[in-house]
Each structure stands twice: as structure tokens, then as C-alpha cells.
A and B are shown apart, each in its own frame.
Chain A
Amino acid sequence: MIRPSINTFILLFALISLPTSAASNPTTHEFSLDNGLKVIVREDHRAPIVVSQLWYKVGSSYEVPGSTGLAHALEHMMFKGSSKLGPGESSRILRELGANENAFTSDDYTAYYQVLARDRLEVALEMEADRLASLTLPEDEFLREIEVIKEERRMRTDDRPSGLAYERFKALAYPASSYHIPTIGWMHDLERMTIEDLRQWHNDWYAPNNAVLVIVGDVQLDEIKTLVKRHFAAIPARQIPVAKTPIELAEPGERRLTLHLKTQLPSLMLGFNVPSLKTAENQKDIHALRLISALLDGGDSARLTSQLERKQELVAGASAWYDAFSRGDSLFVLSATPNVQKGVSLESVEQALWQQLKDLQTNPPTQAELKRVRAQVIAAEVYAQDSINNQARMIGMLETAGLSWRLLESDVDSLNAITATDIQSAAQRYFTASRSITLHSLPEETRP
């Protein structure tokens, strides 16, 4: 194959200007009811539709050993009736209205959403308010639904090697914080969960002062204020248990785990205990880690793909990710599958990942590479505005992490302020053996 000369290539792209700032910020409003319900409204008038998401500040990281899976199980039971609604009735009504509805639970939050024609928003709000204020929680429905949840666990975790590996990885990666609890819950805890546990959970956490309502779409602030007050204002505020931040040991020590799973190929995960934007003393570290994640795995030109996959052909695939927006201390994770067709071992892939991290510690990234990563980040913020669901989701995640949605407006500036030296020093600080956890997933057949 003919290689182009590097010079012509640089010339072609040197003259163009790079994207420097995102689109103008969308109009966003914030207000609170007297009972503490926080409401964030973002206007997007491209189409006459709206998404409503009600986020509760409670998730699996609020659970304790022995009672895992409660946040997620309650999410399921929120569809089983309240004072105005029979079991499954809200779903049937929303279906007839042509709405798209669902819910999701994670470590830090439980959220419920409806996407629908804008003139039907009030129905969604009325039903959401009803199940916040007066959930029925019938026992016969629970006894069926807990079986559904066990099926969900079998499908997502027990029968899926990657799901099982990640569950065990997290359990070991967080020795001190409640992030070691799997959101779906351990099977033995699902077996002993009772309807009384869920009644207590709803009673403890489901109050207007522990929720954030996010509405994005073709709406005006005044109409939203009227509707939200009409349906939520009468729900009294309640005392919420103190939720302590999931703090992790800074340097728990080097941890290694080997699993033999129903998998055909070996694979590897390498994680590091790192802070999040919420827990960090120095926020620059966090933005530097976000850029490192993009340098390693931000696209086809990123280092893991171009170096390990294309150039050295050591991996069939590799990735890096970092959740900067959790309410507690977080993880920076790399994963890889070796190129077994070329006879590459898990050990050499592990070394190669460390080599990539050492390179970041020794050599600052070039200005060209940094510019490219920033261009991607800025463009991605524009593309994210194409989906009202994603916009609402980003706002809800920040708010339930104890951060403000306003961070979105200054995010590009925060990332632009990070220098090559900041990246180098973050790599030096966090990619150490004593912060690391290494998981080898091996085929069951290779068990000694």
C-alpha cells in the first residue's frame, strides 16, 4: 500500500480552524416548590414533544449488605399501583397516549421517565405525583415481580460472562464504599427480600425533597410551574435519612482476581481507585482524567485502538472509561481482549496496558493530539443536544450526584483549561499499583 507523505497531510489540515466552542447554551430554568421538589426545565422547541424525568436521590449505593437490590426492586414495584392507579394501569394509560415510558436504577439514583406529545405532559406528571405520594405495594404483585427480577439477573449477570465479571470486579474494587453492591442485588438477597422491606424503602427515600424533576422539550416555564404545583405541591416534605458519601480508601493496595467463566476467550480488566468531580480536592485532576480517557479511547485515532489494536495487533479490542460524575469516589477502568489469533497472552496485554499508562506518566501528549481530543469533546456536546432524552439524563445525573446542571455550561472551558502537564501529573498520581485492581477472566475449561 502506498503511504502518503506526512507533509502533504499536515498541509491539508493545518489551514483549517478547529472547533473552539460549543453551540450556544440552551435556555434552562430552575425552581423549587416549598416542599423541596427541585424542578429543572430546558426548552427545546424543535418538535412538539417533551420528556419528563423524575430522579430520586437513592440507588444501590444507599443499600446495606443483606438488603441489596432494594432500590431496583422498588423501581419495578412503582408500576404496580397507587391511590389513583391499579397495577399496570399507568403503563396502559401511557401506552394509549402514544408515550414511551420506562425507568432506570443505578448506584446513585432511581429515575422514571415519559416521552410524549407536549399536550399530554400533565397526565404523566399526575401519575408520577400519585406514586410518589401513595404507592400501593401489593404483596401478591411483589411475589410475581421478584421472579421477574430474578429472571433479569439471570439474563444480565448469571448467564452473561461479561456482566458477571464486572459485578465481581466492582465488589473487589470498592473495599470500603457501598459501590461494591451490585444494583440488581445478590441472588440470595433477592430470595429473602420482603414487601415490608420495600414499604420501608419507599417510606424512607421517596419524598419531594429527595427528588429532582427534569423536563426537556417544547414547553414554557409558566405552564410547567402551573402543572407541577397542581400535582406535587400538596405532597409534604419528609425527613430523609442521612446519606453519607461513598468514600473509598485512596490506596487500598494491589488486588488481583482470577475468574473461570463460561467464556471462550480470556479477557482483562485493570482499574484504579480515583476520586470523582464531587469528591476531588483538585477538580483539575478530574478533567485531566476525563481527557486521558479520551486520549486512550475517544475514537478510532485514540491510543488503544491505533497502538494496541492496529499497530501492535496485541488486542482484538480494548477500551477505557471513567465516570467523573458519581456522588462518591470512582474508578478509572481499562479492559482488553487479547489477539489470540496471533497467540498473544493475557500477561502481555496487561503489560501493554501498563506501558500505555507509563507513557502518559513519562511523556506529555503533543499539542496536536490534545487539540484533536478537545475538538471531539466540543463536537460531542453539540451532538448530544440532538436528543432531548440525553439532555435530560445528563442534567439528572449531575443533580443526583450532588453537582449542578450548570456545570454543563462551563464544561468546555473546564476541559480547555487542562494542560499537557496536568495530564501527566494526574497519570502519575493515580495510575499506581497500590490503587490498582486486575481481573483475569478465563474460560472454564482452563481451570486448573
Chain B
Amino acid sequence: MMQRLISFSLLLVIGLSISGCSLSTTQPQDSKITSLQRLNVDAPARRILDIQTWQTASGTTVFFVQSDELPMLDLQLTFAAGSSQEGAAYGLAQLTNFLIGAGTNKYNADQIAQAFEALGAEFNQGSYRDMAILSLRTLSTAELSQPAVELFAEVITRPNFPVQAIQRVQNQLLASFEQQKKIPSHIANRALFAQLYGTHPYAHPSAGTEQTIPRLKRQQLADFYQTYYNAHNAQLALVGNLTRQDAEAIAEQISRALPQGVAASKTPQPQTPKATHLHIEFPSNQTHILLAQLGIERGHPDYAALFIANQILGGSGFGSRLMEEVREKRGLTYGIYSSFSPMQAQGPFTISVQTRAELSEATLGFVRELLSEYVQNGPTEAELATAKQEFLGSFPLSAASNAAIVGQLGAIGFYDLPLNWLETLMQDVQQLTLEQLNTALRNHIQPDALVVVTVGPSVPQLPLPEPVIRNAQPQGHQH
């Protein structure tokens, strides 16, 4: 299936009350779309989430939203057990996470998989730089959900890390590393994090490397599990068709069975890297281009200003400056995006684009120019007003599914955000001034200090194509 553009992920937004706001400032006055004039100028209605939170007796913080419409239940445990906690044993955090579910003293991998699936339940794992996730989705009928939760508790609190399974997954990882050697986007991303983070724990890939993976031993997995998968280092999100009382019982059941321990220490801040341009020769048709800098950490006071500044630059697909100039007017690429990824420590600010190799230098130069101009002169009043409207309008989309809600609760829990942080963010965004955006941009982005990675072939270069000129008035006709 071809898709015109990969949809950007929804904002992590929680519906809370914000007063009405006019749409009139930037609405195209001369638009022929008549229904725009009939549009209600108030902020759209949102689903109000009643987020409840408490601590279990064993020290796990719980976030709960009751959602009774569908007969299902989502449960997600988040641990500060990502690859930033594994030291030099690259890949240990992810391998440990993968192997939970491969066996307990009571059940082997086949029995676990068969039992979950016979209940129609889904067990999932995930491991990233900051965090590791274990989750369960089940139907909420008691005779299905009770055994599913019981099995989930057994599987995640009593993993026995069978040696044969470890070796099998190690082989699978080595196979995937081989595959990745021929995927230019992967080569570029890996090189970018190494350049950007140097000796910081975010520098290496979470999956590990072909040097480190074969050396990992069963005891290291067991120790990593014992240290980081403990009740105090975990948050639990629960969403679905269950009562507060049921939620409390489930939370106690799981939390009690987890190892005891302490919360992991926070990841230190990285050093600012020097400006570089690393080129990796690769025989592809396109050149993959990444431009980056260190961005901000979660909870940074400039988040609202940078979030909106980035939306205008290249954060939300069509209509962003980068997409308009690079794709729409010049046909240089299928997609160009910029993003701030706030993490526990400073996450990256990244621009990514890929273009035919003979236009790679012209494209890179042009993107650098667009970024410099943006940091120097900032957005326009109209761009800021539009971005505020967009943020307000997209608010209701964020709490539409149980899956989206459980994701939000996970982020609030892990990054220790206040329950009303999105309400605050919305208010902050609506009050932003051009001055604040300009200051934040200048403080956080230095266009002459970018870390650049390009992956592609060296070929004779072509000049930048001329932009298509767009008429102010559409020239419609029937045909």
C-alpha cells in the first residue's frame, strides 16, 4: 500500500478545559470554502479523562483511567531499565527485556504463548534508551482477564532466562545487524547518535552491537532484571473496563510480586558535540541526510516555545516550511521532517531528508540555509497564530483510543510529569509570543554548529531546481 506520507504521531495530549479561542486571525479570508465561515469559533469539545493515581504498598505508582465502552483492558508497566542503564554491556537492557516471556520455573516459552493466546490476550515488550516496557491487553470478562493477569504476573516477576533461548535471540540479533548494514537510513541514524553523544550512554544503539551481543551471559541478564525491574523503579498504567477496586487489586498483585529495590539514578547530561559532517559512502540511489544538535530534556521550561517553533519549521508535515520549500515547491524529496525528542537527558533535535544522490549537496546546502534564516528571523505572526490554532484543534484527537490513553499515562508516570501538564502546556502555547519563540530558537539552535551525517554514493552534483510558482488564485475547471 502506498501512502502519500507517513502520518506524524499525535501529540501526547490530555483533554482538559481550555476556554474558547477565535479562529479568525489566520483563516484565509478569501477562502472559497464556505463551511469555514460557519465554523464554531470555540475550542472543540474534548473527552475529559479522569486520571486517578496512587501508590501500591510495594512502592509502584499507578495511573488509572476507567473506560467502559469496550470490553477490554490495557495494562502497561514502565521501568527505568533502558539501554542508558547498561554501561558498556551494549544490548543488555534490550536482551533482558526480550527474554522476559521466554520462560519461568513453571512454564516454558511455548506454554506461555499458548496460554496467553488461548485467552485472546496479547503480551508485549519494548526496550528503548530511557525505558523498558511490559504490557498486556486482554478482554475484560473476569474469567478471561483474571487468568491473563495472573499469567502476566507470573511471566514478568519470575523470568528464568533459559540459556538456549538467550543464544537463539543472540543469533537473531546478529542476523538483524547483518541486514541493517545494507539499510542506508539505519546506517545514518546509528552514526548520528554516535557523533552526537560521544561517550554518553545515549551514543550506542539499544540493540547492542555485533561485538557486545555474543558476549552477554545469562547471569548479567538475571542481575540486570533484579536491579532494574523492581517495584520502586516501575510505574503502572491501567486503562479499560474495570473499576477502581479491580485496578487496585491488580496493581497490588503485580507490584507485590516484583523484586524489591530502589529507583534507578537519572541519566547524566551529555557534552555538546563539535560541528561535524560525516559522509558514509554507500551504493544507493538516494542520499540520506541527517542534521542534528542536542535539544532539550523532558520538563525543560522552553518546551512549549520549541515545540511550536518546530511545528512551524518541519514538525507536522504539509504546510511546514521545510515540506513546502523542499518537497512541494522543488520536488527534492518524498518527506522532510524536523523534531525535538525530549528524553530524560537532552534528546536530539533532528532534521531528516533523503533525495536523489546528484542533488544531495544542493539539498543539504538549501536546508542549512532555511534553518539559518529561520533561527535568525524567526516565524511570522501568522505562522504562530496558525500553530496555536492547530494545537488547539488537534487536542481532542489525542484521547480517542485506549491505546493512546495508556501511552499518555506511561509518559506522565515515567517522566514524573504533573497530571495537568498538558493543560499547562496548552495554556503556555496559547500565550506564546514571537519574542519567546525567537529567544528559544536562538538559545537552542546554532546553525553553524550542526552535526551532519550523509549516507549515499559520491556522484557528480546538480544545482538546486527552481521552485514552482504558485498563483494566488486557484484556476479551477470542470473536466
Contacts and interface: CB of A to CB of B under 8 A. Distances in A.
Interface of A: 1-4, 9, 12-13, 16-19, 23, 45-49, 72, 75-76, 79, 81-89, 91-93, 95-100, 102-106, 115-120, 122-123, 125-127, 130, 133-138, 140-141, 143-148, 150-152, 154-156, 158-161, 183-184, 199, 202-203, 262-265, 298-301, 305-306, 309-310, 313, 316-317, 337, 339-342, 368, 371-373, 375-376, 378-380, 382-383, 385-388
A105 B2 contact: yes
Given A49-B397, A117-B396, 15 more contacts: A3-B108, A49-B396, A82-B476, A84-B32, A85-B32, A86-B472, A89-B31, A93-B33, A134-B478, A147-B331, A148-B333, A202-B479, A299-B113, A310-B168, A375-B120
Interface string B107-127: 111111111111111110000
Contact of A82 (B34, B283, B327, B474): B474
Given A19-B139, A310-B109, A339-B171, A97 B468 contact: no
Given A159-B284, A301-B110, A341-B174, A47 B4 contact: no
Interface string B459-479: 000000100111111111111
A385 B285 contact: no
21 contacts: A1-B162, A2-B160, A4-B108, A9-B107, A9-B111, A16-B147, A46-B67, A82-B474, A84-B33, A91-B317, A98-B392, A100-B10, A126-B35, A137-B479, A140-B468, A151-B331, A262-B284, A265-B175, A300-B123, A379-B121, A386-B403
B465 to A, nearest CB: 8
A83 B32 CA distance: 9
Contacts of B123: 300
Contact of A140 (B144, B469, B479): B469
A116 B46 CA distance: 11
A91 B210 CA distance: 44
Given A4-B106, A46-B67, A95-B390, A116 B401 contact: no
Contacts of B474: 81-87, 89, 136
Interface stretch (B69-77, B87-95, B248-256, B343-351): B69-77
B286 A151 contact: yes
Contacts of A378: 120
B321 interface: no
A434 to B, nearest CB: 29
A152 B285 CA distance: 11
Interface stretch (B176-184, B291-299, B437-445): B176-184
Contact of A97 (B31, B67, B108, B389): B389
Nearest to A83: B476
Nearest to B399: A47
B68 to A, nearest CB: 10
B468 A141 contact: yes
B386 interface: yes
- Interface size class for chain B? 35 or more
B178 A46 contact: no
Nearest to A44: B69
Contact of A4 (B33, B111, B121): B111
Contacts of B28: 89, 92-93
Contacts of A86: 470-474
A88 B108 contact: no
Given A84-B476, A375-B119, A339 B182 contact: no
A161 to B, nearest CB: 7
Given A91-B318, A95-B319, A145-B331, A383 B476 contact: no
B78 interface: no
A155 B334 contact: yes
Contacts of B67: 46
A143 B477 CA distance: 19
Contact of B35 (A123, A313, A382): A123
A17 B476 contact: no
B28 to A, nearest CB: 7
B182 A262 contact: yes
B7 interface: yes
